[in-house]
Amino acid sequence: METIIIGDYDLLGKSIPRVDGREKVTGAAKYAADIELAGMLWCKILRSPLPHAKILNIDVSKAKRVIGVKAICTAKDFGGFRWGWMPATRDEPPLAEDKVRYYGEGVAAVAAIDEDTAEEALEQIKVDYEELPAVFDAEEALKEGAPVIHDYRPNNISWEFHMDFGDVDRAFREADLVREDRFVTARVIQGFLEPPSAVAYWEGGGVTIYAAKQSPYFLYRHIAQCFKLPLSKVRVIQPFVGGGFGGTKNDSVAGDFCVVMLSKMTGKPVKFVYSMEEVMVTSRRRHNCVIYNKMGMKKDGTIVAMQSKVIADGGAYTAIGPLTMYLTGCLSTLPYKLPNFRHDAYRVFTNNPVSAAMRGHGVTHTRFAAEIQMEMMAEELGLDPIEVRLKNAIEAPYETVNKITVHSCGLKEGLMRLKESSLWKEKEKEKRKNHILCGVGVSGTAYLGGARQRGHQSAGAILRLCEDGTVEYLTGATDAGQGSDTVLVQIIAEELGLPIEHIDIKRVDTAYTPIDPGTYGSRVTALAGEAAMKAARDLKRQLAEIAAKEWNVTPDEIVFKNGTVSVKDQPLKSLPFRKLAQIACYSGSGRVLIGKGYSEYGIEPLDFEKGIGNAGTAYSFTAQLSRVEVDSETGFVKCTDMIIAHDCGKPLNPALVESQNQGAAVQGLGQALYEEFKMDKGRTLNPNFADYKIPGIKDVPKIEVIHVLTEDPNVPYGAKEASEGAIVSTPPSIVSAIHDATGIWFTELPVTPEKIALALRNRK
């Protein structure tokens, strides 16, 4: 196992296998779709065949007569409830009310004795529509006279941000080179393997739900609001989660509300499992954006100003879109020095499926534009692209023009490691092999960790000492596949000096675990990790007081290590941890020892409206090289090598950090070269992974991850975000490499073989 020395630790810095690995590889792990309850009914949702239409009438009388149908619900049953990320934008009903706003929007839901019967009933529901003019392009939706999607936003602007720092106009006047370009990013999906699913049962005036969520406490609140229940009457139990990456696993979906409503109506447990086609057609995906970027640069490569305008296709509802728009701007002032910056972001309603969060949230769009434009300008000025990045790279400590404070930064070291690599040094040696053109591209980025946003940001941990010396760990944090359960257990075991198998983590059950917003913005290790550390120290403090009394010493002389408790520098005074636990639990009337801890990183003021302040507790930095081979006849691109120099501070589990970077890089590879929903008037034309095309095993390049170690005081043990940076840095590094191979700049993602072949042909 790989070990990185990050301090005087026994477990932290070691590549300990995942604590959930055996259950997952043996198939013992239970996911939401595996949950079966006695008397359970199946829920299926009737979806709109039109992208924009008034609902004139819904007739469910024939469907109710289908044998085996137990209940049917429509929007009327939800009493006008709507949800959304913030109070001003709660515009989405569980099922469409007066009109449908995108193809596939839920209109009615059936509960029946099995899936076939539920689907048969859907065919018997008659909905009368009056089709409305629709709009499917964000820039078209902004034009005067465009169809209005929501009456409360007659200009179709779902949300907008405007940021302005420094003197942008003066800086452009003083620049030696100013360039303006248009960039486009594609409409892509998260690509999780487990579709949304849930089982709900209503009893005792409340509801229990088993749900596939990376943020189960979002659902917890949504259900309480929707059904007017106190939170104590909503219980969300989270089984294993088969991937997340944001979007639909981060938010609620129609099925979540419908199974609760149908269970309430029938008194039976009700289950839904979306088909993958439903996911691909209706679920939340990454915003596709148009970015107009303007950059000013001195002859020596110094960046003096940047101005960006982002127009994002938000689809039919607002969801978490305001945060997306905020992130497109606030993090543009990293990872390079940028003294003057202006940003205008518009999220626009269209009659497309809803856009929302995805790994690398918001930053992927504007960083792609900025990185490629910086490369273009370096080329015009005859400068080395790595040297330009080194000239502009920030160094810690640093405060950006919009008051982001950086306490640690490994960007320069990462860029230097790339510059010294054989991949970069040899890039000029072999540019062409017959019809294969070779190129190497570079990029850099920063990403926030320990995300802080509006609303409730708590993260807590509870440890219960068992009398046999093992520990039960309760956390509201979710492992959606990233390996955080392992890291959190590693932290507790390290603090208590116990073997990792003596810590048993309990997955989220809102009836028992501390409340936690969930897994997004790389917040789990930073915030839940801090809570776990403090809970372990709290429990250790209590045990140390008991041990100190036994040995007549002070508590700070007690040492916990290798499953043993001893007095510092007195090796004869020691006993097994298990024995101390028994003393603690059995002495006198006996004790109940509970360790408690919570995160306190989220209290710094943040001006969300103006984009000022820290959206995270710490910031990772990534420098990346990609090598590609381009077939000059077909335009096909093969990415052969990547080097990712990643500053996550201190990798608490190096293997997990490495695998997360590899996964993010492959996801970024897909967005650079393959992935894009093909749409025709709101209808998704490639609603399966055969036609949508994500990278397969043969597309994965050789990926080397270099750990760049830095010290950051704002996160537990110095562990910062790991891997969201890699999904941001991969597309620009690949597009830069394609340019190095072909001499052509591509500014629209994905860069498909057709685009390359056509561009090469036109150049001839």
With a cut of 90, say whether residue 3 has pLDDT above it.
Answer: no
In this predicted structure, what is the pLDDT of residue 599?
A: 92
User: Token digits for 692?
Assistant: 């949508």
In this predicted structure, what is the pLDDT of residue 413?
A: 98
When pLDDT is averaged across residues 98-116 and rounded to a whole number, the result is 98
Pairing of strands 285-286, 270-273: unpaired
Q: 99-113, 452-466, 724-738: lowest mean pLDDT where?
A: 452-466
With a cut of 70, say whether residue 517 has pLDDT above it.
Answer: yes
Structure confidence by residue, pLDDT tens digits, 184-223: 999 999 999 999 999 999 999 999 999 999 999 999 999 9
When pLDDT is averaged across residues 384-410 and rounded to a whole number, the result is 97
In this predicted structure, what is the pLDDT of residue 355?
A: 97
pLDDT band at 428 (very low <50, low <70, confident <90, very high): confident
Q: Tell me how far apart the alpha carbons of residues 262 and 43 are, in angstroms, rounded to a whole number.
A: 8
More confident residue, 588 or 703: 703
In this predicted structure, what is the pLDDT of residue 603?
A: 66
With a cut of 80, say whether residue 69 has pLDDT above it.
Answer: yes
Query: Among 618, 704, 600, which residue's Cα sits nearest to residue 661?
Result: 704
In this predicted structure, what is the pLDDT of residue 153?
A: 97
When pLDDT is averaged across residues 571-577 and rounded to a whole number, the result is 93
CB 146 within 8 A of CB 133: no
When pLDDT is averaged across residues 578-597 and rounded to a whole number, the result is 90
In this predicted structure, what is the pLDDT of residue 391?
A: 98
With a cut of 70, say whether residue 454 has pLDDT above it.
Answer: no
Q: Tell me how far apart the alpha carbons of residues 413 and 409 are, in angstroms, rounded to a whole number.
A: 9
Structure confidence by residue, pLDDT tens digits, 601-647: 766 778 888 899 998 999 999 999 999 999 999 999 999 999 999 99
When pLDDT is averaged across residues 67-79 and rounded to a whole number, the result is 98
In this predicted structure, what is the pLDDT of residue 453?
A: 67
CB 669 within 8 A of CB 695: yes
User: Token digits for 458?
Assistant: 């708590």
In this predicted structure, what is the pLDDT of residue 590?
A: 77
Structure confidence by residue, pLDDT tens digits, 10-31: 999 999 999 999 999 999 999 9
Pairing of strands 303-315, 288-297: antiparallel
When pLDDT is averaged across residues 47-74 and rounded to a whole number, the result is 98
In this predicted structure, what is the pLDDT of residue 609?
A: 86
Determine how many CB atoms are found less than 10 A away from the CB of residue 11.
Answer: 19
Predicted TM-score (pTM) of this structure: 0.95
Query: What's 437's DSSP letter?
Result: E
With a cut of 70, say whether residue 50 has pLDDT above it.
Answer: yes
Helix (H) or strand (E) holding 733: helix 724-742
In the chain, the percentage of residues whose pLDDT exceeds 70 is 99
When pLDDT is averaged across residues 329-340 and rounded to a whole number, the result is 97
Structure confidence by residue, pLDDT tens digits, 262-277: 999 999 999 999 999 9
> What sign does the dihedral 167-169-170-174 (CA atoms) show?
positive
Determine how many CB atoms are found less than 10 A away from the CB of residue 432.
Answer: 11
pLDDT band at 677 (very low <50, low <70, confident <90, very high): very high
CB 258 within 8 A of CB 79: no
With a cut of 70, say whether residue 455 has pLDDT above it.
Answer: no
Query: Among 89, 118, 107, which residue's Cα sits nearest to residue 53?
Result: 107
Helix, strand, or coil (residue 240): strand
User: Token digits for 750?
Assistant: 């994905």
